[in-house]
């Protein structure tokens, strides 16, 4: 078996893995390898190729601050353009030579004796071992498709497609199509499928709140200005950022102040749907913001089309030929599109990562909920930094901003390790518990806790462990510097690790 030794292994070549690779290079850390199971950069933006896939954060903010793109064609970009952008940035920063594509990490385990992460990977059917002093888990929360727990999937004789694993060979023209789900992915793909399908049944469990999408193409003059007028693009970026942060206040501290957003959503429904029954079905019953606020001008017109039915009776089972609802009606389908999201707090990847006490992330998080320190480190998993880890997700602005905050933390961590000859770093249980208690305290009045909805933002303990509470500039502030006091560290030639960091019992979750 081939063994490869590197200082740093980065798992994942999406926005965060690529960002980490670039920052490492820029700061003189050249001994690293990026590992990704796909065939190019982009992560979720490579894998989500369903028709209509697009971003609902404006392009000028949904991009790296160190790689502005004056060429964005539209105010909100579509998946192919974002995917292209990520690969262009990778090319410009020459990180491809550090990257192993089509390489799947099957298992990653911390080996205490060697002070190494050992990654068992499979590449072209060949097993290899990568040994790294530091592992960066840039695996992304939205990468493992979630198949709903509905009886009968195996019986279905037609075609099943998940939104996150699109199959371009499936022809929807004139077909009877069923879509399960009405989340961010479904509201983008349904309008496209509705144009070509013979019949389209959309199975809605919970109606989403949807604001209009103010998307438009940029003119040649605007693109020229973005490229040539000093500070213009940064100013636009800053303005988008500032406007979005206002929403953060409402989501976290004052859900009542989101009432105007709800009115905009209600007007969107009233304007687009005439049938009172359909209007009622399409109107959510939870507080706006509790689930992600979606953006679309096309969803309501699509579900109002004569070839589309919004089914709200609930799914009883999948049959050989279609879907049976809870009223006993069976609707035939040639293709079922499953737009039911991702395993976020219960990702199967967590089983593959095993820390110091021989326990997997899945074991640990099953017990305490998805907790970490500053979204980056988890007690008992030495020398492992997660990108977009616990409590870093957002409902209101660009994840790239959060990723770049973590990149600051990562670089300062690595510089500290280098300067001080550190061989082992483990966040203390005390620091992690204190941090999570603060996060949960900050969330107590939020719409995510009190808005009357079920969402993937909550883990199985009922805690919101995916979202960052409040303003993103606060996360930027706390990740500016690596705060070594929160860690048990061991330096070259010493073994000073206190016993409790790997072995102590974690505090239970507090829902």
Positions in the binding site for ligand NAP (CB under 6 A) = 54-56, 142, 148, 150, 163, 180-186, 203, 205-206, 292, 315, 339-342, 454, 456
Whose Cβ is closer to ligand NAP: residue 290's or residue 364's?
Answer: 290
Q: Which residues contact 344 (CB under 8 A, 6 or more apart)?
A: 141, 142, 456, 466
Residue nearest to ligand NAP (CB): 183
Q: Which residue intervals of 186-219 are DSSP H helices?
A: 186-196
Whose Cβ is closer to ligand NAP: residue 166's or residue 435's?
Answer: 166
Shortest distance in whole angstroms from residue 340 CB to ligand NAP? 4
Whose Cβ is closer to ligand NAP: residue 35's or residue 449's?
Answer: 449
Shortest distance in whole angstroms from residue 186 CB to ligand NAP? 6
The C-alpha atoms of residue 481 and residue 59 are separated, in whole angstroms, by 28
Shortest distance in whole angstroms from residue 363 CB to ligand NAP? 25
Whose Cβ is closer to ligand NAP: residue 279's or residue 343's?
Answer: 343
Q: Is the distance from CB of 254 to CB of 478 less than 8 angstroms? A: no
Shortest distance in whole angstroms from residue 476 CB to ligand NAP? 20
- DSSP-derived letter for residue 90 is H
Whose Cβ is closer to ligand NAP: residue 44's or residue 405's?
Answer: 44
Shortest distance in whole angstroms from residue 54 CB to ligand NAP? 6
Whose Cβ is closer to ligand NAP: residue 184's or residue 402's?
Answer: 184
Q: Which residue has the tokens 């079922």?
A: 336
Whose Cβ is closer to ligand NAP: residue 179's or residue 236's?
Answer: 179
Whose Cβ is closer to ligand NAP: residue 182's or residue 440's?
Answer: 182
Shortest distance in whole angstroms from residue 387 CB to ligand NAP? 16
Whose Cβ is closer to ligand NAP: residue 258's or residue 315's?
Answer: 315
In our burial notation (b when 16+ CB lie closer than 10 A, e otherwise), range 467-499 reads bbbbbbeebbeebeebbeebbbbbeeeeeebee
38: tokens are 């796909």
The C-alpha atoms of residue 312 and residue 168 are separated, in whole angstroms, by 28
Q: What phi, psi does 169 have (nearest 5°)?
A: -80, -15
Q: Is the distance from CB of 407 to CB of 475 less than 8 angstroms? A: no
Shortest distance in whole angstroms from residue 75 CB to ligand NAP? 13
Whose Cβ is closer to ligand NAP: residue 203's or residue 413's?
Answer: 203
Report which of 310, 306, 275, 487 is spatially closest to residue 381, judged by C-alpha positions.
487
In our burial notation (b when 16+ CB lie closer than 10 A, e otherwise), range 438-457 reads ebbebbeebbbbebebebbb
Shortest distance in whole angstroms from residue 85 CB to ligand NAP? 14
Shortest distance in whole angstroms from residue 312 CB to ligand NAP? 10
Q: Which residues contact 264 (CB under 8 A, 6 or more apart)?
A: 211, 212
Q: Is the distance from CB of 394 to CB of 375 less than 8 angstroms? A: no
The C-alpha atoms of residue 161 and residue 167 are separated, in whole angstroms, by 7
**How many CB atoms are located within 10 Å of the residue 73 CB?**
12
The C-alpha atoms of residue 202 and residue 185 are separated, in whole angstroms, by 13
In our burial notation (b when 16+ CB lie closer than 10 A, e otherwise), range 360-397 reads bbbbbbbebbbbbbbbbbbbbbbbbbbbbbbbbbbbbb
Shortest distance in whole angstroms from residue 251 CB to ligand NAP? 14
Q: Which residue has the tokens 């961590």?
A: 413
């Amino acid at each position: 078996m081939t063994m490869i030794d590197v200082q740093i292994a980065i798992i994942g070549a999406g926005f965060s893995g690529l960002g980490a690779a670039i920052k490492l290079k820029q700061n003189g850390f050249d001994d690293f390898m990026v590992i990704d199971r796909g065939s190019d950069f982009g992560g979720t933006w490579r894998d989500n190729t369903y028709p209509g896939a697009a971003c609902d954060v404006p392009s000028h903010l949904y991009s790296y601050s160190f790689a502005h793109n004056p060429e964005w064609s539209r105010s909100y970009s579509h998946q192919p353009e974002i995917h292209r952008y990520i690969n262009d940035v990778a090319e410009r920063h020459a990180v491809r030579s550090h990257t192993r594509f089509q390489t799947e990490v099957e298992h990653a385990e911390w080996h205490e004796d060697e002070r190494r992460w050992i990654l068992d990977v499979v590449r072209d059917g060949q097993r290899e071992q990568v040994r790294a002093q530091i592992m960066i888990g840039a695996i992304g929360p939205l990468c493992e498709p979630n198949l709903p727990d509905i009886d009968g999937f195996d019986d279905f004789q037609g075609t099943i497609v998940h939104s996150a694993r699109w199959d371009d060979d499936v022809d929807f023209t004139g077909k009877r199509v069923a879509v399960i789900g009405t989340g961010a992915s479904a509201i983008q793909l349904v309008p496209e499928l509705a144009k070509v399908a013979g019949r389209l049944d959309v199975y809605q469990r919970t109606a989403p709140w949807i604001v209009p999408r103010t998307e438009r193409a940029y003119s040649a003059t605007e693109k020229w200005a973005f490229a040539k007028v000093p500070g213009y693009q940064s100013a636009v970026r800053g303005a988008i950022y500032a406007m979005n942060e206002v929403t953060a206040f409402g989501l976290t501290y004052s859900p009542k102040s989101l009432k105007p957003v709800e009115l905009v959503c209600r007007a969107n429904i009233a304007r687009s749907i005439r049938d009172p029954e359909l209007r009622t079905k399409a109107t959510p019953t939870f507080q706006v913001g509790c689930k992600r606020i979606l953006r679309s001008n096309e969803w309501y017109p699509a579900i109002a089309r004569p070839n589309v039915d919004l089914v709200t009776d609930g799914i009883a089972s999948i049959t050989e030929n279609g879907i049976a609802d809870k009223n006993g009606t069976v609707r035939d389908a040639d293709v079922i599109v499953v737009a039911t999201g991702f395993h976020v707090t219960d990702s199967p990847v967590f089983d593959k990562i095993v820390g110091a006490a021989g326990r997997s992330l899945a074991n640990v998080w099953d017990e305490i909920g998805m907790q970490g320190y500053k979204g980056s480190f988890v007690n008992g998993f030495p020398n492992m930094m997660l990108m977009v880890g616990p409590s870093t997700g957002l409902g209101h602005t660009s994840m790239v901003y959060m990723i770049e905050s973590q990149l600051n933390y990562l670089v300062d961590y690595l510089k500290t390790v280098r300067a001080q000859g550190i061989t082992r770093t483990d966040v203390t249980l005390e620091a992690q518990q204190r941090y999570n208690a603060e996060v949960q305290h900050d969330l107590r009045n939020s719409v995510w806790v009190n808005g009357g909805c079920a969402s993937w933002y909550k883990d199985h303990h009922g805690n919101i462990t995916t979202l960052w509470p409040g303003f993103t500039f606060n996360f930027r502030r706390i990740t500016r510097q690596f705060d070594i006091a929160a860690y048990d560290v061991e330096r070259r030639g010493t073994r000073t690790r206190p016993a409790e960091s790997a072995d102590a019992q974690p505090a239970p979750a507090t829902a």
